[in-house]
Amino acid sequence: MTINLLSPFVDLDDELTAFLLQFPGVVDEIGDRLTPSPLPQASVLPAVTYSDVSDVGDHTGPEGRGAYHLLRYQIDSWADSKHEARRVDGKIRVVLDGYRGAMGGRSVVAIRKNTVSIYEPETTLWHVISDYLIHIEK
């Protein structure tokens, strides 16, 4: 019997980027400016960065490591104004929060956990941070 297991660490970066950039509402706001953190200096705004915060695997199967992972991603929307950063965050929230389906070749469920707006005085930018829990089964 063969069991299809995920690796000990799941990297969803490419799948998440491709998923978000397939939606016209997101692309209309940020173009292709969706990159891993940190925000590059002198970036064209608005822009979005992301970080993989945690990866919790499942060890309840008979072989130990199972085919389930719970990832936490932080998605950061950057802009010159709070209104613009929140608008970009809203476009991402519409397509990601509550999504159930395929992301790349994986079956996922994405749930927004928390959102906060922050002004960064050093850069004079607004930064909306949203945390998402992404459940992966395969």
| β partners of residue 56 | 70
pTM for this prediction:
0.85
Contact between residue 95 and residue 20 where contact means Cβ atoms under 8 Å apart: yes
Question: CA neighbours within 13 Å on the CB side: how many for 49?
Answer: 17
- Type of residue at 44: V
Of 95, 96, 80, residue with least CA distance to 39: 80
Is domain 13-136 in CATH 3.30.2000.10, yes or no?
A: yes
Distance between CA atoms of residues 27 and 8, nearest Å: 32
Question: Does residue 106 or residue 87 have the better pLDDT?
Answer: 87
Q: What percent of the chain has pLDDT over 70?
A: 83
Tell me the pLDDT tens digit for each residue of 11-32.
789 999 999 999 999 999 999 9
> Residue 3: what pLDDT?
46
